[in-house]
Structure 1
C-alpha cells in the first residue's frame, strides 16, 4: 500500500490538487465555454483561492459501501415512486382532503452525519417533510401526507428501514455496529 502523495507547496503552503480541479470545473461551467484561456484562468483562480483560503481537513467518517449503497438507491427510488403516486392520488381526488399528520419518530443512530443523511432523504420524498431534527434526543418531527391507518407506527417503520439502509450504505463501522 502506497502512502498518499503530499500536496505540492507554494510559498510554504500546500495547494491541494483535487480542490483545484473541482474549482476549475466550476469555473468552466460558469463561463460555459471550454477554451484554453478559460482552463488556464480557472486553474490560476482555483490555485490562488485554495492557497489563500485553505479549508480545514475534516473527516465526517462517512464511507461508501458499494453494494449497500446500490441497495439503498434502489429502495429509495422505489420510495420516490410510491410517494409520488401517493401524492398524485390525493392531488387528483377533488373535494377530498388527504390525511395529514405530524409525527415524532425516534432514530437509532447517534451519528450527526447519518442523521443529516436520513433527514435529507426524508425531505426529498414527496409527501414528507422534516419539520425538526433533535440530534441530542435522536428524534425527528415529520409532516406526512396521505398515510392511513396507524400513522405513527407506519412512519416509524419506514424511517427505521430508511435509516438502516443509509447507515449500511454510508456509515462507519461504529455506526453500523450501533444499529445491530
Structure 2
C-alpha cells in the first residue's frame, strides 16, 4: 500500500508539472501534451522532485469559497496597485514582512505560496519549510498596520485552504 501511495503522490506532481507546461505554452494539443509528459518524466529522471501528498478529504463548498475569496483578493489588490501606480508612483513604499504560518502541511503551504504570489503587490521571496516561515515582499506598505494586514491576509488564506483541503486547523482543538 505504501508503494501505491508513493506512486499516486508522484503522479500528482507529474500532473502539476504537466499543467504548468500547458499553461506556459498556452494550448493543449497532442504535441504539447506529449512533450509535457516527456518533460515531466525527464524531470523525474534527473532530479529528486518532491512528492505531493494525496488529498483524500476535499471539501468542494469550502474550496469554492476559497476560490471566490481569492478572486476577490485579486480584484481588490489590483485596484490598490493600480491606484498607487496612477496617483502616487513615486511615493509607493514596499516592505519585507515575515509571517509564521500555523500549518506544517506541504500542500497547504504550497497553495498559500501560490495564492500570495499571484496577487498583485505581494511576492513570496522565501519559505523556511521546517518553521513554516514566509518572507513576503509587499507593496504598498506605509507602516506597521499595512505589514500587519499582509500577515492577516496570509493567515486568512491559510485558514481558508486548510478548511477547503480538509486539513485540521492547528489552532482549533482536536
Instruction: Name the TM-score, length of structure 1 as normaliser.
Output: 0.65
- Corresponding residue number in structure 2 for 1:178: 170
Aligned in 2, Cα 1:30/1:133: closer, same or farther, shift over 3 Å?
same
Shift of 1:92: 0.6
Give the superposition deviation at 1:176. Answer: 1.5
Looking at CA atoms only, which structure, 1 or 2, has the larger radius of gyration? 1
Which residue, 81, 90, 101 being the options, matches 2:75?
81
Could you tell me which runs of 5 or more consecutive residues in structure 2 were left unpaired when the two chains were aligned. Answer: 1-10, 23-27, 45-50
**Contact 1:164–1:179 (CA under 8 A) maintained in structure 2:** no
Instruction: Decide which of 115, 120, 123 is 1:126's aligned counterpart.
Output: 120
Deviates more, 1:76-85 or 1:58-67: 58-67
Residue 6 of structure 1 aligns with which residue? none
Q: Quick one: distance in 2 between partners of 1:177 and 1:89?
A: 35
The root-mean-square deviation of aligned C-alpha atoms, in Å, is 3.2
Contact 1:114–1:166, Cα closer than 8 Å, also in 2: yes
Deviation at 1:155, TM superposition (A): 1.4
Q: CA deviation at 1:177?
A: 4.1
Q: Is the 8 A contact 2:52 2:107 kept in 1?
A: no
Superposition deviation, residue 137 in structure 1: 1.3
Secondary structure at the residue paired with 1:126? coil
Distance 1:64 1:91 in 2: 39
**1:145 matches 2:139:** yes
- 1:99-123: per-residue Cα shift (whole Å, max 9, x none)? 2110000100011111111011100
Written as runs of structure 1 = structure 2, the 5 A alignment for 1:5-84 is 29-31=29-31, 60-62=53-55, 63-84=57-78
- Aligned-residue offset at 1:31: 4.1
Q: Aligned with 1:99: secondary structure?
A: coil
What is the aligned partner in structure 2 of residue 154 from structure 1? 149
Q: Does 1:105 align with 2:99?
A: yes
TM-score calculated relative to the size of structure 2: 0.67
Q: 1:163 aligns with which of 150, 158, 162?
A: 158
Larger % of helix: which? 2
Q: CA deviation at 1:167?
A: 1.0
Aligned residue in 2 for 1:3: none
CA–CA distance in structure 2, aligned partners of residues 136 and 95 of structure 1: 37
CA distance in 2, matches of 1:177, 1:142: 22
Determine if contact 1:133/1:140 at 8 Å carries over to the other structure: yes
